[in-house]
Chain A
Amino acid sequence: MWEYTDKLKDHFFNPRNVGEIEDPDGVGEVGSLACGDALKLTFKLDAKGKIADAKFKTFGCASAIATSSVLTEMIKGLTLDEAAKVTNKDIADFLGGLPEQKMHCSVMGREALEAAIENYNSGGKKKHELEGNVICTCFGVTDKEIERVIRENNLTTVEEVTNYCKAGGGCGGCQSEIEKIIEKIQGDKITEVPVSALRRAGKLTNIQKIQLIQQTINEQIRPALRAHGGNIELIDVDGNKVIVAFRGMCARCRLTEFTMKDVVEAKLREFISEELFVEEDKESAQQPHNHRE
């Protein structure tokens, strides 16, 4: 059970400003049903350019609903310039704190607010668009967004980034990318040894090399394939030739060739040796368990 503050519970059980403003000056919609939470924020300005009214509709857990409710309270009476300065931390603080794993709810609130302001500034035309390159495909989080939560909340681990914006919380395939972003921003503040620490040693024995290949497949490759219903198995290692078999969805996927070169080979080369190359085991591709579903 989550530890929620009384204030959060109050805003969940008695949410303020529920609904949609008719003919609003700004509309911000973020999140989706698939992601597990979504927020639609609408506001209306008064003659002096201050937010006269704000309303929300939220699909999500108790903390998503409470952060939305509290956000509408916080921004009323602010000018748009003032509102634009509200951070996710401000929202969480206003509720007396949020459980770490729920911080993404406060980020969603801030994103919706931004989207609504953006929408107003574009004369009601602009819908919220993702900025930057998508890093986490499971939850559609971009590098810009990840960089921002890291800066604003002084995050130093992948787990924290996941708590704040969900990135890396699905298949986990992008965790090493997130690590690189953290490293870029935080530099020497990082105390934990990253999971993708360079393991490439000088000269490897055959046994060490095979173990490292298996480990790289386990940690770096399989999670990403699994997310798409697929899998990979290490069949054999012959010199620099790594023989693998694709299972599940991957076995029937026309992108196998791409996956093999772009994902498997690239990762093995990054972590072990530039000389490695990958081949698919044709024999095991004939076995019945490659053609399931």
Chain B
Amino acid sequence: MKTIYFDNNATTKVAEQVLEEMVPLFCELYGNPSSMHTFGGQIGRRIKRAREQVADLLGCEPSEIIFTSGGTESDNAAIKGTLAALPHRRKIITTRVEHPAVLTVCRELENHGYTVVEMAVDKYGRLDLVELEEQVDDDTALVTIMYANNETGVVFPIEKIAELVTDRGAVFHTDAVQVMGKIPLNLSKSNIDLLSLSGHKLHAPKGVGVLYVRKGTRLSPYMLGGHQEAGRRAGTENVPGIVGLGKACELAAKNIEQENSKVKYLRDKLEHAILENCPDSQLNGDKENRLPNTTNISFEYIEGEAILLMLDKYGICASSGSACTSGSLEPSHVLRAMGVPFTAAHGSIRFSLSRYNTEEEVDYTVEKMPQIVNQLRKLSPFVAK
């Protein structure tokens, strides 16, 4: 059975060209860039090139790029590193819809006596910037707000937020792991101080990420040890991962147009057809300000895990905000923050596409979805006879 992969916000396929760049670094060029011999030392050039490739995509200086082990580490390093560098400030502002890599860290800091403000969102998943403005005060060390939401694809007006926050003297961090290669960035013209990104969300391998640190931003190192990454992130470099990420950024820059045309076209087609053909279904999120590849749809009266398993039978991969899929007992914190009723949150399905998806895959899914929904609704006690 063919796999139809619509779960690209979870992880993506490694691009063939990315893998090609990485392969020699395992058995041939396996040296340590910190070594004094040429065999190891030559690897440094590969890392330098990857740093430039990433900087090109972000529109920043290569020296502003720190390689990490992934999005979660970047988020941890940004948040804890900022607080350690600004010990006199005790307040953090974030949102209720952040990824756990940010939200859990903030809530833990609350246990250490920090004041944490979690901004609410409206029913479309949007923030109130006036309220944010009121919140940022002299005690605020850090504002950390995601660029785009992984579950709904809703994009926040990050440039405006960054300006507002930094004007008031606080540091601004954004988790941008879902945005890379989908929304063009130019950090040299931005007020963003810190930005996290993750390799495996843009066709590079898992286990590598980036923290962008704007020149002049005070940040205490989070990982201590050797002198790698100019003393800002210790640990022998994940050379194949870094090189792969560099290549993936180069490809992302080339494909950004396609993401916003072809991928968006497929997403829109899929979304429109499902909403049209499945009664009692609704879109979650802000239709206007959204990633081009993501759609989140709720199906009333049925439960997400059951839908996913039915889809899985046809080789279709998606994800759900239902409680049952996470191992917890409560549905998605993002949908609940948006005030999506429990009934709809339990039956929510996210499709996230990539440039590797085809129109046939969309058509096939559109054909299967109403059957699955009908089949499960026949079992549901909440559907009127």
Binding site for B on A (CB under 8 A): 12-13, 15, 18, 20, 29, 33-34, 36-40, 57-62, 64-65, 101-102, 138-139, 162, 166, 169-170, 214, 218, 222, 231, 233-234, 247-248, 288-289, 292-293
CA distance A248 to B110 in the complex (A): 14
Question: A57 contacts B380, CB within 8 Å?
Answer: yes
Q: Which residue on chain B has the smallest CB distance to residue A168?
A: B329
Which residues of chain A are near B328, meaning CB under 8 Å? 169
Whole-angstrom CA separation of A40 from B134 in the bound complex:
50
Interface 9-mer from B16-24, B190-198, B274-282, B300-308: B300-308
Expressed in whole angstroms, the minimum distance between the Cβ of B247 and any Cβ of chain A is: 30
Q: Does B166 contact A (CB under 8 A)?
A: no
Q: Which 3 A-B residue pairings sit nearest by Cβ, starting from the closest?
A: A169-B329, A61-B324, A61-B305
For this complex, into which size category does the number of interface residues on chain B fall? Answer: 35 or more
| Contact, CB under 8 Å: B135 / A289 | yes
Whether B303 contacts A34 by the Cβ 8 Å rule is no
8 Å CB contact of A288 from B135, B303, B385: B135
CB closest chain-A residue, reference B309: A62
Please state if B379 and A18 are interface contacts (CB–CB under 8 Å).
Answer: yes
Q: What are 14 inter-chain pairs, A to B, with CB distance below 8 A?
A: A36-B329, A36-B346, A37-B324, A61-B306, A61-B322, A61-B324, A62-B305, A62-B306, A64-B306, A222-B111, A231-B110, A233-B115, A288-B135, A292-B120
Q: Are B379 and A65 in contact (CB under 8 A)?
A: yes
Interface assignment of B117: CB less than 8 Å from any CB of chain A = yes
The interface centre, meaning the residue of A29, A36, A38, A57 with most chain B CB atoms within 10 A of its CB, is A36
- A-B interface pairs (CB < 8 A), number: 97
Q: Which of chain B's residues have a CB closer than 8 A to the CB of A18?
A: 378-379
A166 surroundings in chain B (CB, below 8 A): 329
Within the assembled complex, what's the spacing in Å between the Cα atoms of A62 and B313?
A: 13
Q: Return chain A residues, CB-CB under 8 Å to B119.
A: 292
Report chain B residues within 8 Å CB of A34.
342-343
Contact: B134 with A288, CB < 8 Å?
yes
Evaluate contact between A36 and B309: CB separation under 8 angstroms: no
Structural contact, B303 and A59, CB atoms closer than 8 A: yes
A233: B residues at CB distance < 8 A: 110, 115
- In the complex, residue of chain A having the shortest beta-carbon distance to the beta carbon of B112: A214
CB neighbours of B131 from chain A (8 A):
292
Give me the interface of B with A, judged by CB distance under 8 Å: 110-111, 113, 115, 117-120, 131, 134-135, 301-306, 309-310, 313, 322-325, 327-331, 342-343, 346, 378-382, 385
Interfacial chain A residues near B303, Cβ < 8 Å: 36-37, 59-61, 64
The minimal Cβ–Cβ distance linking A196 to chain B, given in whole angstroms, is: 17
A34 to chain B, nearest CB (A): 4
Determine the distance from Cα of A102 to Cα of B306 in the docked complex, in whole angstroms.
13
CB nearest neighbor in B for A57:
B381
Q: Is the CB of B381 within 8 A of A39?
A: yes
Chain A residues closer than 8 Å to B378, beta-carbon distance: 18
| B-side contacts of A60, CB under 8 Å | 303, 306, 324
A60 to B342, CA, bound (A): 13
Distance between Cα atoms of A41 and B111 in the complex (Å): 46
Q: Do residues A234 and B379 form an inter-chain contact, with CB atoms below 8 A?
A: no
Shortest CB–CB separation between residue B107 and chain A, in angstroms? 9
A110 to B71, CA, bound (A): 44
Inter-chain contact A58/B380, CB cutoff 8 Å:
yes
Instruction: State in angstroms the CA–CA spacing of A60 and B115 once bound together.
Output: 38
Cα of A292 to Cα of B309 in the assembled complex, Å: 40
Interchain CA distance A195-B302 in the complex, whole Å: 36
Chain A contacts of B115 at CB under 8 A?
Answer: 233, 247, 289
Q: Give chain B residues whose Cβ lies under 8 Å from the Cβ of A38.
A: 381-382
* CB pair A293 B120 closer than 8 Å: yes
Q: Which residue of B lies closest to A12 (CB)?
A: B309
Is B323 touching A57 in the complex (CB atoms < 8 A)?
no
Q: Which of B120, B303, B378 has the most CB of A within 10 A?
A: B303
In chain B, what residue has the closest Cβ to A245?
B115
Verify B379–A36 contact, CB threshold 8 A.
no
Inter-subunit contact B117/A65 (CB<8 Å): no
- Complex: chain B residue closest to A227, CB-CB: B330
What is the CA–CA distance of A292 and B130 in the complex, to the nearest angstrom?
11
Known: A61-B305, A64-B324, A288-B134. 15 other contacts (CB 8 A): A13-B310, A15-B379, A18-B379, A29-B381, A33-B343, A36-B331, A38-B381, A59-B302, A59-B380, A59-B381, A64-B303, A170-B329, A234-B113, A247-B117, A292-B120
